């Protein structure tokens, strides 16, 4: 006989309850308390402390420990029965003394258990937990009725990189230039990562301030969309609130008084209004998300974003989503990040997205003999641009022999050049500033850590344009605003057309004609066309 739907539903619920009770999928004590309180509220069974009316303290119970209930076995001992009270106090004292002898052993056992669990947790914290997968599945199942719910796990590599940046100590800021705003899948990964971090901190006994995540959106429609993604997390103990001009400010103030949300989705204008009325405090925010920085700039609310960032007293992890087409975004992003370490994540493999906000400068060198003076000239320019600072430059050459020749021939005016014992790096010191130069050839370029450099100087172009694109992507991976200097000589004529296509796709001033030519700005009123085959410079007006 086939089983009915009720029997199958009971069986599925039993399996789910068993899975939730297991230690691997157990949530933190705070989240479990919220879930249990919600179940009691729905079933109509509340605790005495959760009722609408509370008992008042009495002289016998000044701290209201018994919540108005009398002791079992009769009333409190009064002055008419002092002997009974003394006997009872003696019994309690004996029990207290006996338990005090066992207390050191219990504390030692508890400390050992906590240390063992922390070591285990520390080993597990190098990867996302199962609770993050539970959050992702909850969002996917809630969206299944709308659009099928697929695609969340397809962006797994991007999500794991985001989790690594947010969970690092200290956390790393993230810049995504794949599109104008975050997609639904990326938002799901972001809020699930925040849930995982909250659960881990509460498991370690760390007090998490609310709101933990501040998600800034440019419009009411975007706020509603992000709120719909976070709504399935409420059953897991994560509450989210959206603030936008579509609702009255009085209604939002009363809602903020009744709850302390972990996630706050808001527009900058409404958030500043509520902050002025002291309805919310964001000084303890740990994660800040700016979804669509170019949209904020189009709305002229860049100064409001800076005001919100200044109101956060802690050092939050900042995630920025922006369109790579507008270079003005880099200036505002630099103010928000404050020059801290950044990691560029991108699901779009185009050169425009991977090298956004990185300036490419092409320097013409007629012959190979003039390459060393040209490198010297570029380094002097970098030294003047980074006055009173220490600049780090990666110098890329064709071979190890060329690298040694360049490092030995560099003698700048009024500068001191110091080579190391291996000959693959040197330091330029002057009264203007300091430059640390690391020299790498194309064979050993894979061993270079681009994270340490904000400027790359390509003295010899590679045989293929793909290798140059990899250098460009590596130079922009860990910096918000960087520079790539490239020396173009007559031997590189075959790379003129693909190089011009790369520069044009990246938004550089470039024109491709019948003969390979570069168009770049010399000043506000003049431009120059340089024929890369004849290497002759012809001046022309801007028009």
Domains of the chain (ranges; CATH) run 130-348 (3.40.50.300), 355-515 (3.40.50.300)
Q: What CA–CA distances, in Å, run from 340 to 159, 324, 479?
A: 21, 20, 9
For residue 512, what pLDDT is reported?
Answer: 33
CB 112 within 8 A of CB 104: no
Nearest Cα neighbor of 477 from 129, 124, 40, 177 is 177
Give the single-character DSSP code of 435: E
Quickly state the pLDDT bin for 366 (edges 50, 70, 90). confident
468/389: higher pLDDT: 468
Integer Cα distance of 305 and 296 in angstroms: 8
Segment 61-81 shows an average pLDDT of 56
The sign of the dihedral angle between the CA atoms of 105, 109, 114, 115 is positive
Please report where in the chains the tokens 């130079």 appear, as a residue.
Answer: 475
Q: What is the pLDDT of the chain when averaged over all its residues?
A: 75
Rounded to the nearest 10 degrees, the angle between the axes of helix 220-230 and helix 184-203 is 50
Residue 535 has pLDDT above 60, yes or no: no
Segment 172-191 shows an average pLDDT of 90
Residue 375 has pLDDT above 80, yes or no: yes
Integer Cα distance of 193 and 199 in angstroms: 10
Nearest Cα neighbor of 518 from 504, 506, 463, 482 is 504
Q: What is the pLDDT of residues 439-476, one digit of tens each?
A: 887 777 766 667 677 788 888 888 888 888 888 888 77
Q: What CA–CA distances, in Å, run from 353 to 106, 295, 464?
A: 58, 17, 20
For residue 291, what pLDDT is reported?
Answer: 93
For residue 378, what pLDDT is reported?
Answer: 85
pTM (predicted TM-score): 0.68
419/457: higher pLDDT: 457
Distance of CA 352 to the CA centre of its chain: 21
Residue 179 has pLDDT above 80, yes or no: yes
């Amino acid at each position: 006989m086939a089983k009915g739907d009720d029997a199958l539903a009971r069986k599925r619920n039993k399996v789910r309850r068993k899975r939730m009770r297991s230690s691997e999928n157990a949530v933190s004590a705070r989240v479990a308390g919220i879930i249990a309180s919600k179940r009691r509220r729905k079933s109509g069974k509340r605790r005495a402390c959760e009722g609408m009316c509370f008992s008042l303290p009495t002289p016998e119970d000044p701290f209201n420990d018994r919540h108005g209930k009398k002791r079992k076995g009769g009333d409190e001992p009064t002055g008419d029965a002092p002997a009974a009270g003394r006997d009872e106090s003696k019994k309690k004292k004996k029990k207290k003394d006996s338990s005090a002898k066992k207390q050191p052993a219990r504390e030692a056992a508890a400390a050992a258990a906590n240390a063992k669990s922390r070591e285990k947790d520390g080993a597990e914290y190098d990867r996302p937990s199962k609770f993050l997968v539970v959050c992702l599945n909850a969002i996917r199942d809630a969206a299944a009725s709308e659009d099928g719910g697929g695609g969340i796990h397809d962006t797994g590599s991007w999500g794991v990189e985001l989790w690594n940046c947010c969970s690092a100590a200290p956390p790393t800021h993230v810049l995504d230039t794949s599109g104008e705003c975050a997609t639904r899948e990326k938002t799901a990964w972001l809020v699930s990562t925040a849930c995982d971090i909250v659960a881990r901190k509460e498991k370690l006994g760390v007090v998490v301030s609310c709101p933990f995540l501040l998600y800034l959106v440019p419009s009411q429609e975007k706020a509603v969309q992000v709120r719909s993604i976070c709504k399935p997390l409420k059953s897991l103990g994560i509450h989210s609130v959206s603030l936008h001009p579509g609702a009255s400010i009085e209604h939002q103030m009363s809602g903020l008084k009744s709850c302390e949300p972990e996630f706050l989705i808001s527009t900058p204008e409404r958030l500043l209004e509520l902050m002025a009325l002291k309805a919310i405090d964001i000084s303890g925010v740990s994660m800040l998300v700016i979804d669509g920085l170019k949209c904020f700039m189009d709305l002229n609310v860049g100064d409001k974003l800076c005001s919100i960032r200044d109101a956060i007293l802690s050092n939050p992890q900042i995630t920025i989503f922006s369109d790579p087409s507008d270079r003005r975004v880099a200036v505002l992003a630099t103010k928000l990040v404050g020059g801290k370490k950044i990691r560029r994540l991108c699901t779009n493999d185009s050169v425009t997205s991977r090298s956004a906000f990185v300036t490419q400068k092409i320097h013409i060198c007629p012959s190979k003999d003039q390459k060393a003076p040209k490198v010297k000239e570029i380094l002097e320019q970098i030294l003047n641009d980074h006055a009173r600072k220490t600049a780090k430059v990666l110098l890329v050459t064709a071979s190890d022999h060329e690298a040694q020749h360049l490092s030995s021939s560099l003698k700048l005016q009024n500068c001191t050049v110091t080579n190391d014992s291996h000959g693959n790096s040197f330091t330029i010191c002057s009264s203007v500033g300091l430059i640390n130069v690391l020299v790498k050839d194309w064979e050993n370029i894979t061993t270079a850590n681009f994270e340490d450099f904000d400027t790359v100087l390509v003295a010899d172009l590679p045989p293929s344009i793909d290798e140059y694109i990899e250098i460009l992507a590596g130079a922009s991976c860990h910096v918000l605003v960087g520079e790539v200097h490239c020396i173009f000589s007559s031997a590189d004529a075959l790379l003129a057309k693909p190089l011009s296509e790369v520069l044009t796709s990246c938004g550089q001033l470039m024109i491709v004609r019948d003969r390979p030519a570069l168009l770049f700005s010399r000043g506000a009123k003049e431009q120059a066309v340089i024929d890369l085959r004849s290497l002759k410079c012809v001046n022309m007006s801007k028009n």
